[in-house]
Amino acid sequence: MSNKTEMEDKIRELFTSLSPQDKNFLGGLHHTENIIRELRNHFSYIQGDLPSRQRVNMGIPYLKDSKVIGYCTFTVMQDARPNNYDQKFIGLKEPVNYLHFKKLVVHPDFRNQGIATELIQYRLRVANRLGKDAVCDVEKENESIIKLLTENGFKNSFHWKTRKGTEMIRLTTHSK
């Protein structure tokens, strides 16, 4: 892949291959500048130069034959003060230090081949290198991702509801 725009186009193409249910769970695709920033931040991390901010978003494409067949995102939280939403709906009060799993997408033609597990394991290695626990908020109905995360060492931490009343489960890699 020669440039960021080409990579971004391939990531967008991956998202358009998803079913309406998958798109609903994921909450849609980021704007162009967010995808490019996620990719740039991940590249900086690989180079040993993680940006020094409270929240650093990263994106990781999974390639096969120059095609993006998987993509995941996460946010490295570094003494990040909870925003109003996190305070009101999740109950967070103190600054947080963890790696927050976000999107996990695998092209429908390549599912059940271990790609999602590889992307989860990669993010867990990043969390480990940074000395952070991993956290993921999942809709209670999304049994397949809950099962996958539990198989990869996550435990149910607590339940909470979104502004719209959707039941969520916070899964973590620690027992708090």
DSSP conformation letters of 88-146: III---S-B-EEEEEEEEE-GGGTTSSHHHHHHHHHHHHHHHHT-EEEEEEETT-HHHH
Which residue range forms the structural domain that includes residue 65? 4-172
pLDDT per residue, tens digit, the chain (176 aa), is 446 678 888 888 888 887 776 765 555 565 667 888 899 999 999 999 988 899 999 999 999 999 999 999 999 999 999 999 999 999 999 999 999 999 898 999 999 999 999 999 999 999 999 999 999 999 999 898 999 999 999 999 999 999 999 999 999 997 44
**CATH number of 17's domain:** 3.40.630.30
Give pLDDT, residue 16: 82
Rounded to an integer, what distance in angstroms lies between the CA atom of residue 112 and that of residue 98?
A: 28
Domain count within the chain:
1
**Judging by DSSP bridges, how do beta strands 98-106 and 133-139 pair with one another?**
parallel
User: pTM of the full predicted structure?
Assistant: 0.88
pLDDT of residue 176: 41
